[in-house]
Amino acid sequence: MLNKRIPVKVDSSSIKNCEEAVNLKKDLDELESIKEKIVSIIEDVFNTLNDDNVIPQFIQVLQKKTTEKNVFLNFIKQYS
């Protein structure tokens, strides 16, 4: 686990020169970047679901004028 690799009670100046600490910092920064992208995507999904444009699409599904798969594909195209 990453938590076990985090140095504790160590002189901060020596950590800056430690290769393992530098690599750990890089990995944590990358995870933070990925997290921000995921949160943004999830927010976009919820905003779209709350938008009025989704309801008419699912009414078309109920009326058998389209399929759930087509609604999904249209949704995916919007975020590609």
Residue boundaries of the structural domains of the chain: 10-78
**Interval 49-59: pLDDT, tens:** 777 677 788 88
**Interval 58-68: pLDDT, tens:** 888 999 999 98
Total Cβ atoms within 10 A of residue 80: 4
**Total H helices, total E strands in the chain:** 5, 0
Residues 6+ apart with CB under 8 A from 41: 79
Q: What is the mean pLDDT of residues 32-57?
A: 84
